[in-house]
Chains A and B, each alone.
Chain A
Amino acid sequence: MTRFGQEALSLAVILIFLMPLVWMLLAAFKPQQEVFIGGFWPSAWQWHNLADAWNSAPFGRYLLNSLLISLTTTAAVLLSSALAAYAFARMRFPLKAFLFAVALGTLMIPGDVLLIPNFITVRQFGWLNSYPALIVPFAASAFGVFLLRQAFRQTPVELEEAARLDGATPAQYLWRILLPINAPVLSALGILTFLSSWNALVWPLVVTSRDDFRTVQVGLASFSSLEGSNLPLVMAATLIVIAPVMIAYALAQKWFIESAAASGLKG
């Protein structure tokens, strides 16, 4: 392909991937009667749509909840995955293959199959309308265990031998050497976990019935109700919901992409 062809194709691809977001952004600031019949730009920018959407639901609280839940979940996943991955990659113990299969097996069980029984479990724990209900069931990830195990296995074994000669315990080796060396994979897992936690919808909807514990995605779902929908307001709410992550992404795009990419390198 020629140089010019590549440039043109790149521009076309950029347009295809970004246009939906641009359209959403513009619709968020259009007068309601203009979304389907007006021109490309709003005839008059309705900045108040954003404030109206913000005021129609406690979005501040939702954002705070989402942030808290996603960060805690991510930290928990990193910790539990690193520990288990280390055991699977570097330790000898009976039933290892079986236990690894037990961990990986969870990848093939659709979460939504488990919705009702998990709801009952969480209720039995007295966790309805609380943060633990939104965090604990997701505090471990088979994908994380798999990913980190692959990474740990590819870390030169000599490092561990050297550390042991220096008198380090396995836990010290894991904490001081293995994890820092594999920081790219950890950050990849962290980003992916954060995103999936931030974007989760069905579970938060089921286990929370009070605004105090609801997440932004649930807040958005409340807006897209069909009856008498006010599209610009819905788009404004969408903007509010995706803005924090999109801004972070715009600022640290390279880190996001490289993190995601690291998850495949070790496959």
Chain B
Amino acid sequence: MPRLLILSATLLTATLLSTASAKTEITFLYGLGGELGKAIESMIKDFNAAQNDVTVRGEFANTYEGVVQKALAGIAAGQPAGDVMQLEVAYVPRIAASGALVNLKALPGFQTSFNAFWPVFKTQVSREDGAVYSMPWNNSNPVLYYNPELLKKAGLSAPPRTYPELRVAARKITAATGVPAIALSSFPWVLEGAVWSNGGEMVDNGKLLLDQPAAKAVITDWAGFFRDGSAVLQSPNTRADFAAGKVAMLMDSVAGRPGLKASVPFKFGTAPLPYYKKPVVPVGGATLGISKGSSADKQQAAWTFIRWLAQPQQQFTWIKMSNYVPITRTTTNLPAYKTYVASEKGLEIGGQQLSYARPRPSTTGYVQGTQEIIKSLDRIFLQDAPIDATLSDLVQRTQPLFKDTK
């Protein structure tokens, strides 16, 4: 592989040059705030203290969407918005297609790093042509958070494990307490898991499959929660509602835990995500990409930073602050990690669910498709729109977005 050699040589030279002169400064554009944002800044600080070649400067872009906006503006301006960018998995294909991301496969030590990841994360970042434009970092899956007091009032001693159980429990809770039992989301993340667990698919053969029996059954079931008043739509207010005892359960990322712990005044419970026929959870979160427009030494520095973050010790430090799931087997097998997740009930679930986790659909059309799904589900859940007609309309409307999807 002469190209690899040349690249390695270039990078080596660049490294030598950079050590000879000053430190290489790179920017890391990220999109998580609150407790998680603090955790990211803390990781950056650790990295800067741990070595002498690279200085990372964190830059907060408000949200994952904000990272993408800045990235795009950077492409338009011909000046990368950040050397390392935290990219939500669904956004990667669009940005990679523009040629703005480095194909990491060609970088030194890629294969070793890559092989360490759990299979689900390898699948998540691998494109059809074999290229890899971003490395897994902060990954999560959803769990069921519940208010044990409200469940107890409804005579329930354990959280529901399946959707049929959830349905029964929800009715009981709402009847006994008068508050909505569960918050369900129109954002199709938890829904993806539900559809897969019911034997269905989200996208295939160039279109959405939400009008197919398995998916339609899930959506009809969910709509039932709203129709009998035992569900509310998940919104930015939901966590506050949960904290105030105004909703008994919600399905949310394992990484939502530090935020919940900071704001919920009671001891809340955590349970595996409910399922239909077989347990499946969707993997979510973000991956790290390197801007092609950055200079060679910055790319090299970025790569060093990314690989440092994936090392077990750093992963573990990060997980303790953020409650994301381990992305490598080695981290999962760390004795310290095992002790940590055993220290508090509920912490272990995210890692356990990895064995039946699936990556989110990440075709270029899914970004816009997601917005259409949200709109249609809002109509079904909140405005009693007819399910059959709304879903077939949704599939038809979004077809142009998925025409390239196999």
Of the candidates A123, A210, A225, A226, the one whose C-beta lies within 8 Å of that of B77 is: A123
Mark the stretch among A98-106, A157-165, A228-236, A251-259 that contacts chain B: A228-236
Of the candidates B36, B77, B262, the one whose C-beta lies within 8 Å of that of A128 is: B77
Of the candidates B34, B70, B73, the one whose C-beta lies within 8 Å of that of A230 is: B34
Which residues from chain A contact B346 at a C-beta distance below 8 Å? none
Would B76 and A222 count as touching, CB distance under 8 A? no
Which residues from chain A contact B255 at a C-beta distance below 8 Å? 227
A134 within 8 A of B: no
Interface string of B21-63 (1 = CB under 8 A from A): 0000001010011111100000000000000000000011011
B258 within 8 A of A: yes
Would A33 and B265 count as touching, CB distance under 8 A? yes
A8 within 8 A of B: no
Closest to A119 in B: B73
Of the candidates B36, B78, B240, the one whose C-beta lies within 8 Å of that of A227 is: B36
- Interface size of B as a range: 35 or more
Interface residues of B in 230-272 (CB under 8 A from A): 236, 239-241, 243-245, 255-256, 258-259, 262-265
Which residues from chain B contact A35 at a C-beta distance below 8 Å? 240
Would B258 and A228 count as touching, CB distance under 8 A? yes
A15 within 8 A of B: no
**Complexed CA–CA distance, A225 and B34 (Å):** 7
A245 within 8 A of B: no
**Complexed CA–CA distance, A164 and B11 (Å):** 73
**Complexed CA–CA distance, A116 and B75 (Å):** 12
B301 within 8 A of A: no
Would B77 and A230 count as touching, CB distance under 8 A? no
Interface residues of B in 320-353 (CB under 8 A from A): none
Which residues from chain A contact B35 at a C-beta distance below 8 Å? 227-228, 230
**Complexed CA–CA distance, A89 and B81 (Å):** 46
Would B259 and A228 count as touching, CB distance under 8 A? yes
Would B76 and A32 count as touching, CB distance under 8 A? no
**Complexed CA–CA distance, A230 and B243 (Å):** 12
B399 within 8 A of A: no
Which residues from chain A contact B59 at a C-beta distance below 8 Å? 209-210
Closest to A33 in B: B265
Closest to A115 in B: B73
Of the candidates A128, A206, A222, A227, the one whose C-beta lies within 8 Å of that of B259 is: A227
Which residues from chain A contact B63 at a C-beta distance below 8 Å? 225-226
A119 and B244 in contact (CB under 8 A), knowing A225-B63, A228-B262?
Answer: no
Would A222 and B60 count as touching, CB distance under 8 A? yes
A229 and B33 in contact (CB under 8 A), knowing A32-B262, A33-B263, A35-B240?
Answer: yes
Of the candidates A123, A225, A231, the one whose C-beta lies within 8 Å of that of B79 is: A123
Would A37 and B78 count as touching, CB distance under 8 A? no
Which residues from chain A contact B76 at a C-beta distance below 8 Å? 116, 119-120
Interface string of A97-127 (1 = CB under 8 A from B): 0000000000000000000100110010000
Which residues from chain A contact B70 at a C-beta distance below 8 Å? 209
Would A225 and B33 count as touching, CB distance under 8 A? yes
Of the candidates B69, B243, B256, the one whose C-beta lies within 8 Å of that of A228 is: B256
A4 within 8 A of B: no
Of the candidates A36, A206, A222, the one whose C-beta lies within 8 Å of that of B243 is: A36
Which residues from chain A contact B73 at a C-beta distance below 8 Å? 116, 119, 206
Of the candidates A33, A209, A228, the one whose C-beta lies within 8 Å of that of B33 is: A228
A223 within 8 A of B: yes
**Complexed CA–CA distance, A32 and B258 (Å):** 13
Which residues from chain B contact A227 at a C-beta distance below 8 Å? 32-36, 255-256, 259
**Complexed CA–CA distance, A128 and B62 (Å):** 19
Which residues from chain A contact B236 at a C-beta distance below 8 Å? 226, 229
Interface residues of A in 69-106 (CB under 8 A from B): none
Would B243 and A37 count as touching, CB distance under 8 A? yes
Which residues from chain B contact A226 at a C-beta distance below 8 Å? 33-34, 63, 236
A243 within 8 A of B: no
Of the candidates B36, B60, B62, B240, the one whose C-beta lies within 8 Å of that of A36 is: B240
Which residues from chain A contact B241 at a C-beta distance below 8 Å? 36
Closest to B264 in A: A33
Would A229 and B37 count as touching, CB distance under 8 A? no
A221 within 8 A of B: yes
Would A231 and B77 count as touching, CB distance under 8 A? no
Of the candidates A36, A120, A209, A228, the one whose C-beta lies within 8 Å of that of B34 is: A228
Closest to B57 in A: A210
CB distance from B139 to the nearest CB of A (A): 15
Which residues from chain A contact B60 at a C-beta distance below 8 Å? 222
A222 and B33 in contact (CB under 8 A), knowing A209-B59, A227-B256?
Answer: yes
Which one of B34, B37, B63, B255 has the highest number of Cβ atoms from chain A below 10 Å of its Cβ?
B34
CB distance from A56 to the nearest CB of B (A): 8
Closest to B63 in A: A225
Which residues from chain B contact A223 at a C-beta distance below 8 Å? 33
- 13 A–B contacts from the bound complex (CB under 8 Å): A35-B240, A36-B240, A37-B245, A120-B76, A128-B77, A222-B60, A223-B33, A226-B33, A227-B34, A227-B255, A228-B35, A228-B258, A231-B240
Q: Besides A225-B34, A227-B255, 13 other CB < 8 A contacts?
A: A32-B263, A33-B265, A37-B243, A37-B245, A116-B73, A119-B76, A128-B79, A209-B70, A228-B37, A230-B34, A230-B35, A230-B262, A230-B263
Closest 10 CB pairs of A and B: A228-B259, A225-B33, A228-B34, A228-B35, A123-B77, A33-B265, A36-B244, A37-B244, A36-B240, A226-B236
